[in-house]
Amino acid sequence: MSSLILQSAIYKDGEWKSTFLTGVNMGAAKPGTFSGELAITKEEYLRWFKQMP
């Protein structure tokens, strides 16, 4: 997994306010596999979700 930080703006109360959007690029491939193999299991995704703040 890699983390992703984007600078963006949100329109709120009649004006644009700068903000940072943080996310995670989880992808669909495990190391040593191709993305088309879909080797990541449901249990692995659920475990990863619990580890996210």
b/e map of 28-42 (b: 16 or more CB within 10 Å)? eeeeeeeeeeeebee
Give the pLDDT mean for 21-50.
87
Average pLDDT (14-42) is: 86
Rounded Cα–Cα distance for residues 50 and 25 (Å):
15
Contact 5, 11 (CB under 8 A): no
Residue 20: phi and psi, rounded to 5, are -115, 135
Tell me the pTM: 0.52
| 5 closest CA partner among 17, 19, 20 | 20
Residue-wise pLDDT for 13-22, tens only, equals 999 998 887 7
